[in-house]
Amino acid sequence: MTLERQNVSPDELQRVNKIRRDFVANVSHELKTPATSLKLLAESLEETLDDDPVQARLFAAQLKKETERLAHLITDLLDLARLESQETVDRPTLVDVRGVLMSVLARMRRVARGKEITLQWKRFGKAAHYTVYGDETQLASMFTNLVDNAVQYTPPGGRVEVAGGSEGPEIVISISDTGIGIPEEKIPRIFERFYRVDKARSKATGGTGLGLSIVRHVAENHGGRVTVESVLGEGSTFTVYLPRA
Ligand SMILES: Nc1ncnc2c1ncn2[C@@H]1O[C@H](COP(=O)(O)OP(=O)(O)OP(=O)(O)O)[C@@H](O)[C@H]1O
Ligand SMILES: [Mg+2]
């Protein structure tokens, strides 16, 4: 970090240092929980291995699931750390946003079908209108997180719709769902790291609360932004605005 070399006021430095301390505290806390359950599960597996192979198999399956969760958390943390350390995209190239979205949707389709959720395209214009100057991997990660949330927080039988358009110099991509929605007073907090509206439920579904922080950083690193509109019990729409190349 180069803060010390820049002209930063003592107040600002103090604020940034506090954010860093909170981050480390949060990360330690978030890692401790899965680490504890891994140990417990390994012990349970060891104890049941000889006498109760059926139970042992269940513990092994849980162990695998917890390990995946931990790996997911670590990947997200590393992505986020990398995104936060820069303010723009490192080596930007021309990216076809429509193509990125298509492959994200192709990958998410199976998950959606498994939950009986319809995943639809809507209103996409000419491919030529969807080019940005940026990082394809980051953009894919941003859209994956948004579609993943839409599917995750929508009950079976619901619908997720992805629409693309342009407004002046910007590309506008919206991801709407007919899901559980977000309470109005919680909306300002959802982009914070580790923030989950319903911690207990999120734990069961494996959420870490980092997805939307990644989304916001990717949008900002591309000179864009993300907005959200949501009605509790009816659904949410996340809209990404990116400057066209
Ligand atoms: N489409 C949505 N509908 C309803 N709630 C949502 C939606 N997207 C996000 N949220 C709320 O915002 C919170 C933060 O979302 P975020 O993607 O950052 O974390 P997460 O989904 O819990 O975990 P992960 O890091 O695995 O994505 C979620 O826990 C959820 O409460
Ligand atoms: Mg998420």
pLDDT digits (tens, 9 = 90+) for 57-97: 999 999 999 999 899 888 888 888 888 877 888 889 999 99
CATH number where 193 lies: 3.30.565.10
Helix, strand, coil % over all residues of the chain, rounded to 5: 55, 20, 25
- Which residues fall inside 5 Å of ion ligand 2, going by CB? 149, 211
pLDDT for the residue 1: 44
Q: Are residues 126 and 78 part of one domain?
A: no
Q: Cα separation of 60 and 68, whole Å?
A: 12
Which of 22-26, 92-96, 213-217, 223-227 is predicted with the least confidence, judged by mean pLDDT? 22-26
pLDDT at 93: 93
Task: Give yes or no: residues 171 and 206 share one domain.
Answer: yes
Query: From CA 216, how far away is CA 142, in angstroms rounded?
Result: 8
Residues 122 and 215 placed together within one structural domain of the fold: yes
Cα 192 to ligand 2 centroid, rounded to whole Å = 12
Same domain, 30 and 126: no
pLDDT in tens, 192-211: 988 899 876 655 666 788 99
The reply to whether 53 and 154 lie within a common domain is no
Share of the chain above pLDDT 70, in %: 92
Q: Ligand 1 center to residue 146 CA distance, Å?
A: 9
Give the domain range for residue 13: 3-84
Q: Are residues 47 and 107 in the same domain?
A: no
The verdict on 63 and 118 lying in the same domain is no
CB 109 within 8 A of CB 119: yes
**Closest ligand to 194 CA?**
1
Pocket test for ligand 1, best of 196, 208, 239 (most atoms within 8 A of CB): 196
Q: How many domains does the chain have?
A: 2
Q: Could you say which of 50, 84, 118 is where a domain stops?
A: 84
61 or 24: which leads in pLDDT: 61
At residue 78, the pLDDT reads 86
Same domain, 47 and 122: no
HSE-CB for 34 with a 13 A CA cutoff: 22
> CATH no. for residue 60?
1.10.287.130
* Average pLDDT for the chain: 89
pLDDT at 166 over 90: no
Q: Which of 63, 84, 105 is the last residue of a domain?
A: 84
User: How wide is the angle at C-alpha 208 spanned by C-alphas 206 and 209, nearest 5°?
Assistant: 130
Least confident segment among 103-112, 176-185, 191-200: 191-200
C-alpha distances in Å from residue 11, one per residue of 2, 20, 175: 16, 14, 38
Supply the pLDDT for residue 106. Answer: 94
Query: Do 118 and 187 sit in the same domain of this protein?
Result: yes
Atom 7 (ligand 1) nearest CA: 149
Q: How many CA atoms lie within 13 A of 87 on its CB side?
A: 2
Return the ligand number nearest the Cα of 175.
1
Residues 100, 42 share a domain: no
- Separation CA 124–CA 146 (nearest Å): 18
Q: 139 and 182, same structural domain?
A: yes
Summarize pLDDT for 28-56 with one digit per residue, the tens: 888 888 889 999 999 999 999 999 999 99
Torsion-angle region of residue 18: left (phi > 0), alpha (psi -120 to 50) or beta? alpha
Quote the pLDDT of residue 14.
Answer: 84
Last residue of a domain, one of 27, 58, 84: 84
Q: For residues 10 and 115, state if they share a domain.
A: no
